[in-house]
Structure 1
Amino acid sequence: MMRLLGPAEIRILADKLDLRPTKKLGQNFVIDAGTVRRIVRVADLSPDDVVIEIGPGLGSLTLALLPSAEHVVVVEIDPVLAGRLPITVAEHGAADNLTVVNADAMKIALGDLSGHVPTALVANLPYNVSVPVLLHLLEILPSLRKGLVMVQSEVADRLAAGPGSKVYGVPSAKAAWYADVRRAGPVGRTVFWPVPNVDSGLVSLVRRDPPTTSASREEVFAVVDAAFAQRRKTLRAALATWAGTAPQAETALRAAGVDPSTRGEQLTIEAFARIAEQKP
């Protein structure tokens, strides 16, 4: 079994690199080997999977992923950490199936991944940008068939929420455009260094086809954004600016088969797509 990083080794590595985890970069490093083994197990990887990991940090999860996939591409914004990771991997005798990309995950494109085409996303996502990074990757990497990400517990609830839930909103609807999303278990605070002041959760994603619609993704997402910008308002009022006027919004909603007096939190992504098709 691959020797993984423990708390002592992580502290030693951090001292060597004069590393002080920053909130700006959302850096909370996993120091518990059992947790990373659990993540890899729940991710259910195949030997032919090409995994993309965002924010590998000191390499805790990376070391656990390498024996379980054909290749692992990591995207690390911190140049010091990106430079150190291949050394850590070599010191642990891991297979030579790692590609390190020193870049901002919010700005990468498929062409930045050295010819690799990821099929799975497995990552402890930087907490301050977890939702935009996830949506960006799902958009630019249609090859991603599945994913398992660790995010703040509250964010996990939002991503996995269905229509009618109090926490159903923009992240829920937009994630549902790309994938079936569900909670995949809680993660305690003490497995991280530094210890965050929030709990975490695992979120599983399985790619599905987006709704069949004549509207573009951007057009559908514009309706989602408008519907939740003032979530306490009825859709007739919330979509007034989007449609031009409240009466025009009502006409579009009725044409889409949606009650104008309902609210965005009641709608599936398919319903949002039908509304987008009716834009005046």
Structure 2
Amino acid sequence: MQKVKPKKALGQHFLTDKSVAERIASTLDMYKGVPVLEVGPGMGVLTEYLIDGGHDVTVVEIDKESVDYLNENFPELKGRIVDGDFLQMDLSVLMGGRKFCVIGNYPYNISSQIFFKVLDYKDSIPCCSGMLQKEVAERLAAGPGSKVYGILSVLLQAWYDVEYLFTVDEHVFNPPPKVKSGVIRCTRNSVTSLGCDERLFKTVVKTSFGQRRKTLRNSLRGLLPPSVAVDEDPVWAMRPEQLGVDRFVELTKKIAAMRDGSMCR
């Protein structure tokens, strides 16, 4: 079968450098024995090294042409090539309720959505690694004080230790993207509970960064009852990029208490 033609609509940039693919596959070396779900395998350049590394691999591919290519060239994946949209799948059903790792050369246009999806299954995914647009990879790994630190940085780092591993140049892809790529690894930390209302935590983080140039006093005003005034805590004069995960957790507890106190009056 002929090679698959990259499709712009799917954000496909096929990796052509096998040494890079091997390095990406090696990010899961410490998880031998844990099933692996690869997102968007394309023509299987990464898949090949995952299989050679002894991993139990399942792949999800939305491109029918790529699915046909994989079925023809990877007979060892028979029954484990899933044709469909990763973002729409119930991963617990797909992986049979087992813990599993996620890896991929992620399409640029949905890479952030993929990591939001991983967060939905954080108790089942001990590690998620792979390649995405360098700017997005840097954002996920950024700490407080960085200009690229944002919503997904906080939400992901609440549950995972995020490492930026290495940069990949444009010329090792077909077609070459207009930007560099970055490889990261997210390893599940020991946190089992944030100790606050997790739904409110997400709302506080998203609302804060939605108006990141404003102080928290102004950006979060809408989350508080009109009758409640903020206290003298200096956190209210800060901007979201100044707060780490722990500070956002404390802020969430504070807002919850202020809301509850208002309801009790």
How does the TM-score come out when normalised to structure 2? 0.88
Residue 8 of structure 2 corresponds to residue 13 of structure 1: no
Q: What code does the residue aligned with 2:22 have?
A: R
Q: Conserved in 2, the CA contact under 8 Å of 1:183 and 1:201?
A: yes
Report how many residues are paired: 255
Question: The residue matched to 2:166 in structure 1 has which SS?
Answer: strand
| Shift, 1:170, TM fit | 0.8
1:48 aligned partner: 33
Question: The residue matched to 1:260 in structure 2 has which SS?
Answer: helix
Question: The residue matched to 1:57 in structure 2 has which SS?
Answer: coil
Residue 220 of structure 2 corresponds to residue 234 of structure 1: no
| Shift, 1:50, TM fit | 0.8
Percentage identity across aligned positions? 33
Deviations 1:24-53 (A, max 9, x none): 211111111111111112332443121111
Deviations 1:57-81 (A, max 9, x none): 1111111111224411111112232
Cα separation, 2, equivalents of 1:52 and 1:118? 10
Correspondence list, 1:1-280, <5 A: 12-14=2-4, 19=5, 21-90=6-75, 95-96=76-77, 99-113=80-94, 115=96, 117-208=98-189, 209=191, 212-216=194-198, 218-245=199-226, 248=228, 250-251=230-231, 254=233, 259-277=235-253, 278-279=255-256, 280=259
Deviations 1:186-233 (A, max 9, x none): 1111111110000000011110125531312x2211000110011011
Cα separation, 1, equivalents of 2:140 and 2:122? 19
* Structure 2 unaligned spans of 5+: 260-265
Q: Conserved in 1, the CA contact under 8 Å of 2:142 and 2:148?
A: yes
Name segments (4+ residues, structure 1) moved above 6 Å: none
How does the TM-score come out when normalised to structure 1? 0.83
Deviations 1:101-139 (A, max 9, x none): 112111111244152634222211111110111121232
